[in-house]
Each structure stands twice: as structure tokens, then as C-alpha cells.
């Protein structure tokens, strides 16, 4: 009786081995192929791997003994991989049912964290970033019409560009946002928690934009964070009071309409205009309290028709109030960035997609999505207010070096144009364009931009971040151009 049971068990074991053997081999081969393909794609080694595979197949066909050895080795590896258990953290092993433990796609195992919900662990965290840190504000190497928002993972970028860090040069994978008349997503919205770096990203964008265009900067919070741009070549206005901000946005709307009335050739000859607004919802509340009007209403025209008029709008608002911008404005801004210590639900609501799982530091890092593209991790360059004494000296000096020439201290328009020409010649000699005035400058000069000679007394004191920019760059006067 015992012998019959043993025989029966051996037969059932043999049948089970015959049934499970092919499945184990197939699973092992699939895992091997996926692992090799992932390794080749991560390091851009697909072509060498394909050539090596074809060479091994040819050698196996040409040399039977070598082919037999390779076949046996392949089967052994497949059986070993197929017999192993799957990844932990997906319903198996000690991580089953534990939201604080699991695999992080492409970035190793996420550390176990207690006392916080799983949605916060996936986005916020204290883990080290996988990309270079300490990248300061700079003008990255990119094509005309491209704007580098920061650095991302190498697998999310199609190139690498040289960059300047706090401790020397390095190479990063850039997250490129394409602007201009052919851009699919011509406007940008930055949403972040307090202190996450939204204003710094706006400063970085403005510094890059002034290399070939003009800008109007509005500080909705009235903190003077854009004071360093006041009185600079190419800066058509810096506003921080409710009345001045409403006047500046109204001028930008009328300027957009003026450009739309031009024919195609004249419109292409216009200088790109960047409208950078920090804390627009807060600005709307301040303007309502002061009786200055509705600043959000003046954003409608640049948002809807700015792409055709070479007008780009960049907005930054804090989490919790950004949806007060209105459905009409949010429909026009589909290039979005979420910065700071946010939950998965908050990031998904901002960018419109689920973020990749992985630890992201709160300050200066987050996620970005350009239109219908994938959600990518992002670390923005460090671009603090150069008057902020708490910031690192290297970061503050990087911002100062990128600022265009100052109009203060020059007595005539010719002197300012001579400085701009010198900057352009120096940039051509070094291969880097420090500042490009554009056709708008040549057509009207400083007087056409600001309605008077540059040696007139401005409305605010340059270099005073507390109140020097309250009245605008030159008394808040925006001149209607014919």
C-alpha cells in the first residue's frame, strides 16, 4: 500500500514537472529578454546588443558544439530566472499589503516610512535625487524657441546638455519646453507648495527669455522678487502694486491685439514678448481689495491668442488656490509643473496624469507634463532673488551674471544701444548670445518702449526690492505702439 502511494506520488510529480517545465522556461526567457532590452535602452546600447545577438546566433549555426553549449546555458539561465519568485511589493512576500514598501520603477526600492500615507511617500520624500544637484540659473544650449525648465531623468530626455553647477561644470538631461507660433503648448503654469521654488523657476524662465525677447513681469504677492529686473534692457515693465499690475496686464492685452492686426511678415518681425505673472490669484484679491479692477480678465486675450502674436504667458500659483484662475484660463495652459511636497492626488490634478513613483525632494523638485506627453520628474535650476542674503552666494551671482544691461546710469539712448551692441559682439565671439535686442529695439529704441528718454526720473528706485518696483519700470507707463 505504501509502495502504491509512493508510485502514485512520483507519477503525479512527473506530470506536474512536464506541465510546469515549459511555463518556467518561457517565463525565464521573457524575463531575460526584458532585462536585456531594458539594460540596452537605458544606456542607449540597443544597436551593440542587437549586433552581438546576431553574431552569437551566426556562430551557433556555424559551430554546432558552440551552439549546443549556448543552448544549454540559455536554458539554465531561463530556468533559473523562471523559477524565481516575482517582485516583492506586489502582493507577495513580506511587503504584501504594506503601502510603505515596494519597488520604485527604475530607482531601486522605496524606503519604508511610517506615520505618513502612501500618497505622500510616492511624491514627497527625503531620498536623494538621482539627477545632478546644485545646477544654477543659466542659459542652456538649446534651439531657438526652446526653453529648458530644468533637468530630468536621462530616460525622459532625448539629449544631454552641458550645465554649470555650484561646484563646476557638469552634464544634465534637460526638460525642454517648446514655445513660439508653432508650439502645441505655448503657455506654462507652475503650481507648488510655499517655498518649493515656483518664483525661482519664473526667474530662470525670464532670464532665458531675455536672451532673445522682451518681458513684462508682475509680482502678484508684492514681495519684490522681480526687483532685480527693473530698469534692464528688454524689460518693459516690473509691477508689484495692484494698480500697476492691472495697468501692465491691460497693456499686454492691447499689445497682443495690436500684433494680431499685423500681416504675417510684420508679425514674424515682432520681438517675442513674455508675460510672467507670479501669484495671479493673490493679485486678483489684492486688486479687488484696492478697487483696481480685475487683473485675471486681462489675461484672457494673451492666453487665447498669444501664440499667434508671439506672446507667451507664464503663471505661478500656490497649491490650494490655483484652480481659482478659472476654467477658461486653465484650458489654455496645458504645459504644467507641480513643485514641492505634494500628494499624488494633488500632482495628478495639476498635471493631469499620474506621476512616476519615486522619492522627490520638496524644494526645487517635482513633476512636469507638457500637454498630452508623459509625466516627467523635474528639478529646476536654483535662481533665488539676488538680494536674498540667505541664499548661497554662487546662486545669487549666477542670477546677477545673466541679467541684461541696466538702463540706469546711461544718459542717452546711443549709450544703451552701444552697450547692447558690445554684448552681442562678445556673444558672437564666444559662441554664446548674451542678449539679443530684436527688431522691436531697432525700430523704436528705448524711447518707443518707455515713452521717453532713459535719463528721466523713474517712478521707483532701482535696486530697492521693498518698494522700488511698485510703480513699474518707468512710472508704470506702458506706451501704445502704432
> What's the CATH number where 208 sits?
3.40.50.300
Please give the tally of structural domains in the chain.
Answer: 2
Instruction: Residue 63: give the domain boundaries.
Output: 14-83
* Distances, alpha carbon 78 to alpha carbons 17, 29, 204, 394, in Å: 16, 5, 51, 53
Q: What is the pLDDT of residues 228-240, one digit of tens each?
A: 999 999 999 999 9
Same domain, 287 and 418: yes
Same domain, 221 and 330: yes
Q: Is residue 473 part of a domain?
A: no
Same domain, 302 and 154: yes
Residue 227 is predicted with a pLDDT of 92
Q: State the cell numbers at 332.
A: 489654455
232 three-state secondary structure: strand
DSSP for 271-291, please give it.
Answer: PPEEEEEE-HHHHHHHHHHHT
Same domain, 275 and 195: yes
Residue 124 is predicted with a pLDDT of 39
DSSP for 319-377, please give it.
Answer: TTTGGGG-HHHHHH--EEEEESS--HHHHHHHHSSPPPPS-B-STTEEEEEETTS--EE
User: 67, 83, 99: which is the final residue of a domain?
Assistant: 83
Asked whether the beta carbons of 255 and 243 are under 8 A apart, the reply is no
Residue 97 is predicted with a pLDDT of 37
DSSP for 383-411, please give it.
Answer: ---TT-TTS-HHHHHHHHHHSPPBSTT--
Same domain, 76 and 155: no
The distance from CA 421 to its chain's CA centroid, rounded to whole angstroms, is: 32
Same domain, 200 and 74: no
Can you tell me the distance from the alpha carbon of 332 to that of 330, in angstroms, rounded to the nearest whole number?
5
What residues in the chain have per-residue pLDDT under 70?
A: 1-21, 23-25, 28, 37-47, 49, 78-79, 81-132, 358-361, 408-482
Q: Is residue 335 part of a domain?
A: yes
β-bridge partners, 366 = 339, 378
Q: Is residue 472 part of a domain?
A: no
Residue 444 is predicted with a pLDDT of 35
User: 51, 83, 115: which is the final residue of a domain?
Assistant: 83
Residue 116 is predicted with a pLDDT of 35
Q: What are the strands of the beta sheet with 335-339, ordered from one edge?
A: 161-165, 168-178, 146-152, 376-379, 365-370, 335-339, 188-192, 311-318, 273-278, 214-219, 235-239
Dihedral over Cα of 237, 243, 249, 250: its sign: negative
Same domain, 55 and 160: no
Can you tell me the distance from the alpha carbon of 310 to that of 187, in angstroms, rounded to the nearest whole number?
11
Same domain, 277 and 172: yes
User: 83, 99, 119: which is the final residue of a domain?
Assistant: 83
Q: Is residue 135 part of a domain?
A: no
Q: Tell me the helix, strand and coil percentages in the chain, rounded to 5.
A: 45, 15, 40
DSSP for 363-376, please give it.
Answer: TTEEEEEETTS--E
Q: Is residue 111 part of a domain?
A: no
Q: Is residue 115 part of a domain?
A: no
Q: Is residue 25 part of a domain?
A: yes
Asked whether the beta carbons of 187 and 306 are under 8 A apart, the reply is yes
Amino acid at each position: 500500500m505504501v509502495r502504491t502511494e509512493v508510485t502514485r506520488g512520483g507519477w503525479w510529480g512527473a506530470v506536474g514537472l512536464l506541465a510546469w517545465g515549459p511555463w518556467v522556461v518561457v517565463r525565464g526567457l521573457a524575463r531575460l529578454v526584458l532585462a536585456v532590452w531594458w539594460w540596452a535602452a537605458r544606456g542607449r546600447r540597443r544597436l551593440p546588443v542587437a549586433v552581438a545577438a546576431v553574431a552569437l546566433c551566426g556562430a551557433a549555426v556555424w559551430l554546432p558544439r558552440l551552439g549546443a553549449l549556448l543552448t544549454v546555458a540559455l536554458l539554465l539561465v531561463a530556468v533559473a530566472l523562471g523559477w524565481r519568485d516575482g517582485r516583492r511589493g506586489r502582493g507577495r512576500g513580506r511587503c504584501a499589503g504594506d503601502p510603505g514598501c515596494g519597488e520604485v520603477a527604475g530607482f531601486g526600492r522605496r524606503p519604508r516610512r511610517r506615520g505618513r500615507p502612501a500618497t505622500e511617500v510616492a511624491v514627497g520624500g527625503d531620498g536623494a535625487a538621482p539627477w545632478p544637484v546644485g545646477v544654477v540659473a543659466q542659459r542652456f544650449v538649446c534651439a531657438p524657441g526652446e526653453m529648458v525648465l530644468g533637468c530630468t531623468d536621462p530616460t525622459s530626455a532625448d539629449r544631454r546638455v552641458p550645465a554649470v553647477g555650484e561646484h563646476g561644470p557638469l552634464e544634465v538631461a534637460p526638460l525642454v519646453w517648446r514655445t513660439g507660433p508653432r508650439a502645441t503648448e505655448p503657455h506654462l503654469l507652475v503650481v507648488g507648495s510655499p517655498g518649493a521654488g515656483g518664483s525661482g523657476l519664473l526667474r530662470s524662465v525670464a532670464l532665458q527669455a531675455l536672451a532673445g525677447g522682451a518681458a513684462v513681469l508682475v509680482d502678484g504677492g508684492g514681495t519684490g522678487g522681480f526687483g532685480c529686473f527693473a530698469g534692464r534692457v528688454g524689460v518693459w515693465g516690473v509691477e508689484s502694486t495692484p494698480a500697476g499690475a492691472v495697468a501692465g496686464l491691460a497693456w499686454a492685452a492691447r499689445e497682443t491685439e495690436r500684433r494680431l492686426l499685423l500681416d504675417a511678415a510684420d508679425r514674424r518681425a515682432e520681438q517675442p514678448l513674455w508675460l510672467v505673472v507670479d501669484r495671479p490669484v493673490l493679485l486678483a484679491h489684492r486688486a479687488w481689495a484696492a478697487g483696481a479692477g480685475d487683473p485675471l480678465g486681462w489675461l484672457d486675450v494673451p492666453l487665447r491668442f498669444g501664440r499667434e502674436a508671439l506672446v507667451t504667458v507664464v503663471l505661478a500659483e500656490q497649491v490650494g488656490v490655483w484652480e481659482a484662475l478659472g476654467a477658461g484660463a486653465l484650458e489654455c495652459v496645458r504645459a504644467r509643473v507641480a513643485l514641492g511636497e505634494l500628494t499624488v492626488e494633488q500632482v495628478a490634478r495639476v498635471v493631469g496624469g499620474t506621476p512616476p513613483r519615486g522619492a522627490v525632494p520638496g524644494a526645487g523638485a517635482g513633476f512636469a507634463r507638457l500637454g498630452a506627453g508623459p509625466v516627467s520628474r523635474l528639478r529646476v535650476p536654483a535662481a533665488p532673488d539676488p538680494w536674498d542674503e540667505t541664499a548661497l552666494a554662487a546662486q545669487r551671482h549666477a542670477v546677477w551674471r545673466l541679467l541684461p544691461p541696466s538702463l540706469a546710469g546711461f544718459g542717452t539712448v546711443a549709450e544703451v544701444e552701444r552697450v547692447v551692441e558690445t554684448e552681442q559682439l562678445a556673444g558672437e565671439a564666444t559662441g554664446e548670445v548674451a542678449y539679443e535686442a530684436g527688431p522691436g529695439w531697432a525700430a523704436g529704441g528705448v524711447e518707443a518702449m518707455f515713452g521717453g528718454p532713459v535719463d528721466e526720473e523713474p517712478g521707483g528706485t532701482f535696486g530697492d526690492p521693498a518698494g522700488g518696483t511698485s510703480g513699474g519700470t518707468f512710472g508704470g507707463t506702458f506706451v501704445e505702439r502704432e
